Structure 1
Amino acid sequence: MERTNLSPYTNQTTTKHNTYTNSGGSDNCTDDDKWASKLLRECARAIYDKDSAKINHLLWMLNELSSPYGDCDQKLAYYFLQALFCKATESGQRCYKTLISVADKTHCFDTAKKLILKFQEVSPWTTFGHVASNGAILEAFDGENKLHIIDISNTLCTQWPTLLEALATRSDETPSLKLTVVVTANMVRSVMKEITQRMEKFARLMGVPFEFNVITGSSRSLGQLTKEELGVQEDEAVVINCIGALRKIEVEERGDVIRLFSSLKPRVVTVVEEEADFTSSRSDFFKCFEECLRYYTLYFEMLEESFSPTSNERLMLERECSRSIVRVLSCDDKENVGSGDCERREKGNQWCERLKELFSPVSFSDDVVDDVRALLRRYRSGWSLAVDQANSNKDSGILLAWKDEPVVWASAWKP
């Protein structure tokens, strides 16, 4: 399942320190004695307490010590400083729109492709969900000849080449596949024409009868889409695949989206989300900040240990994080920043509570779990499958852990 050689995507400083810095020991930015988290917490608390003198002092200190090109501490300080400054000055909406505008202007297919493929090469952060979901999807499609995947994700379809290969090598007749991609991110829309051409070419090469449809720019919410708009036919075996996209849906609309899924009568729904909770604490700035710092500290540490110090791809991923941090900590949800810009993530146990209203969890088979374990062995040490302590039932999904800290949750569901 993990053969990718035929994929349509394949192409052959130092800054000032003071007494808060710690020049000795590991560069692991999750250490409790690192200076960035201390200063950032003090600044967040000062903002929460509306202590203007302390806010100004701490923002100045962070500005002196931070750098987007330094070590993990300096980078965390730099990107969180931006969000905290926006929160303190109530300029989050303007800053976020500027960051998105700059990113849109530099976004192209080749750059996005290189970034995604390099990330998948050095880290299982995204491929973990792809392998788990593809395994569940292939098992749900077993014996079916007319397949329809509704893909709600922003991964530029990098998940699907291995699934197409698996369908092409099926022992019985090769089934037809319709892939309907629902695009929820503005930056992905600009590259869908290129992706369409590549996916259609690859399907022809694999000998899989293939139809590719893209749904973008809907003025309505995802939950208001209809069976007709999604092109669902009565004689199709339908699967819904959601990779890192549900967090982009407004919290109040998530129930509508799950009801839409149920109305399509899918064979299986696969859901993959990062293990962070920016929803339950949204009314408490400091609690939300703590969760945001915890999650992004893990992410930045993973990037530091996975990429070389001079990696352009690493810098691009960090800048992408900076936009999310600003969005979470300094933007008012009541203001309409733009379609698909919600950053209210929920953990696996929270999604379970929502999904269990209309769906039943399906445990991944031993074969799928073995495929995931085999995937993790391809990467450096530190990656593992974690036990979901919040849900003792193994049907609630599987968790990818980085140094024993859960970071990504994958699950499968049936009506």
Structure 2
Amino acid sequence: MPFTETLAPHLLADMNNKNQVHRTRPWPGLFPAGPKTTFTSFGDANCMEQLLVHCANAIESNDATLAQQILWVLNNTAPPDGDSNQRLTCGFLRALIARAARNGSCKMLAAVAASNYDIALLHETHRFSVIELASFVDLTPWHRFGFTAANAAILEAVEGYSVIHIVDLSSTHCMQIPTLIDAIASRSLEAPPPIVKLTVAWVAEEDGHVPPPPPLLDDVSYEELGRKLVNFAMSRNVTLKFQVVHSSYREGYSTLIEHLRVQNFYKDNCEALVINCHMTLHYISEETQLTTLLHDPNPSGNNPYPHFEPSALVSPRTMFLKALRSLDPTIVVLVDEDADFTSNDLVDRLRSAFNYLWIPYDTVDTFLPKGSKQRQWYEADVCWKIENVIAHEGAQRIERVEPKSRWVQRMRSAGFRGFGFGEEAVSEVKSMLDEHAAGWGLKKEEEDHLVLTWKGHNVVFATAWLPT
């Protein structure tokens, strides 16, 4: 049966549904006029979203015929080298084909799609040198916003301490640390700067059921990275002690927690403990499970989560935050993307991701030219995220971003209270944003939390917390 008789009535019903939530931002038409297609009445972002939703439902129900009809339309309206909206849709199209390859009778559909459609199913993520990654991070406020806000809060919280122990849980491989060291040195011109201890969690690439999320470093060990940081700190007259703990989000950083608990036992009143969480905590599973299934007893026989019974039903994220609270840190900074990819329903995840991940595609046009290598690296990283959200389930689906409101609730329940960002932090963030495109903005919300925006839409939030 032709497309207009099978799929179009469903789309029209969805688009006319009064309860349908429509996008508030303008999108250009994606179905081109002319002899190639007659579907110009569906040429907007709501239609693209509905096409993807119907394709997802067809794949889940093993309706290969309907799925192939929708894939044909999407392939003809969303080329991988098109405008930002088309590239976004193409990213989801590739992810749905990857999911079809794992799903029943639609495996044949995936093979047909890969061979007949102009779609590269494999998007290899780039491996950065340290210098490349530092330059890459500086291109956009996506990470710099969190760096700037976190550094300001940390400097205020550790004022007067002679030793600052920073535990860096970051997706950017310590790229925030040089700016923090530089700020510490600048504030210590009239007195000897404090000693800085830096602990990072190293996640082995073969650890877990899925490759680590981008960005990836190219043949640089964390030990070598530590030596570079120590030398940089020395050039700024700051003593830096660097250590790596082999731990991972898959086991809820339990090895790291146990390591910190032993170290924290000897901590005196002159040492500040800073926990810096930059876009990594959403990789910890949010699903409530038996703790005995998640955490095997460690070799020492100690329980890294002493506040929970071994067979307790509890979220690993809750366990981790409670464990952090037991360490009595001086400050905890939590920076992450303000979206929700946690639903177990594929369509809900697809809608949520589609209505958030248009932002990186839209912003990249403002700072990277079409066809540049950096742009290819940038969009390959976004495609990795899309595929993980859409094509994977269970332990392989690690992109489980939660909105700020839910993290605020988690932090309060774990025994933390908000530590507001002052005017100095706001001023520094605004100065940083002035270096980028005009679409970026800043919001200060309840308890003085900061939110990075793009054209008025929430992108990344920054929060700081003290033990209650």
Place the TM-score, normalised by the shorter chain, in its bin. 0.7 to 0.9
Measured at CA, do residues 99 and 150 of structure 1 come closer, stay the same or move farther in structure 2, by a change above 3 Å? farther
* Residue 385 (structure 1) aligned to one of 418, 434, 442: 442
- Once the two structures are overlaid, the 10-residue window that deviates more, 319-328 or 130-139, is 319-328
* Residue 20 (structure 1) aligned to one of 26, 31, 39: 31
Query: Which residue number corresponds to residue 94 of structure 2?
Result: 82
Per-residue CA shift, 1:234-261, capped at 9, x if unaligned?
1221010000001111113101110121
- The answer to whether residue 185 in structure 2 is matched with residue 132 in structure 1 is no
Unaligned runs of 5+ in 1: 1-17, 24-30
**Identity of counterpart residues, as a percentage?**
31
How far off its partner does 1:19 sit?
A: 7.9
* Residue 384 (structure 2) aligned to one of 320, 323, 345: 323
What is the TM-score of this pair, normalised by structure 1? Answer: 0.81
Query: Which residue number corresponds to residue 376 of structure 1?
Result: 433
2:85 and 2:362 in contact (8 A); partners too = no
Which amino acid in the other structure matches residue 353 of structure 1? Q
How far off its partner does 1:387 sit?
A: 5.0
What is the TM-score of this pair, normalised by structure 2? Answer: 0.72
Query: Which residue number corresponds to residue 345 of structure 1?
Result: 401
* Residue 127 (structure 2) aligned to one of 98, 107, 113: 107
1:21 and 1:34 in contact (8 A); partners too = no
Measured at CA, do residues 398 and 264 of structure 1 come closer, stay the same or move farther in structure 2, by a change above 3 Å? same
In structure 1, C-alpha distance between the alignment counterparts of 2:429 and 2:76, rounded to whole Å: 43
Query: Which residue number corresponds to residue 225 of structure 1?
Result: 256
In structure 1, C-alpha distance between the alignment counterparts of 2:443 and 2:49, rounded to whole Å: 25
* Residue 362 (structure 1) aligned to one of 415, 419, 422: 419
Unaligned runs of 5+ in 2: 1-28, 35-42, 111-120, 206-211, 287-314
Which amino acid in the other structure matches residue 328 of structure 1? V
1:154 and 1:183 in contact (8 A); partners too = no
Measured at CA, do residues 66 and 33 of structure 1 come closer, stay the same or move farther in structure 2, by a change above 3 Å? closer
Instruction: Give the root-mean-square deviation of aligned CA atoms.
Output: 2.8
- The answer to whether residue 74 in structure 2 is matched with residue 62 in structure 1 is yes
Query: Which residue number corresponds to residue 27 of structure 1?
Result: none
Query: Which residue number corresponds to residue 311 of structure 2?
Result: none
Per-residue CA shift, 1:93-126, capped at 9, x if unaligned?
x99xx969x54xx62425xx424423423x2111
Query: Which residue number corresponds to residue 326 of structure 2?
Result: 263
Which amino acid in the other structure matches residue 382 of structure 1? G
In structure 1, C-alpha distance between the alignment counterparts of 2:122 and 2:358, rounded to whole Å: 21
How far off its partner does 1:407 sit?
A: 0.3
- The answer to whether residue 84 in structure 2 is matched with residue 72 in structure 1 is yes
How far off its partner does 1:324 sit?
A: 1.4
Q: For the pair shown, which has the larger CA radius of gyration, 1 or 2? A: 2
Query: Which residue number corresponds to residue 23 of structure 2?
Result: none
Query: Which residue number corresponds to residue 14 of structure 1?
Result: none
Per-residue CA shift, 1:180-224, capped at 9, x if unaligned?
011347355753233212101101111111101122355843145
How far off its partner does 1:47 sit?
A: 3.9
1:359 and 1:413 in contact (8 A); partners too = yes
Measured at CA, do residues 62 and 32 of structure 1 come closer, stay the same or move farther in structure 2, by a change above 3 Å? closer
1:76 and 1:300 in contact (8 A); partners too = yes
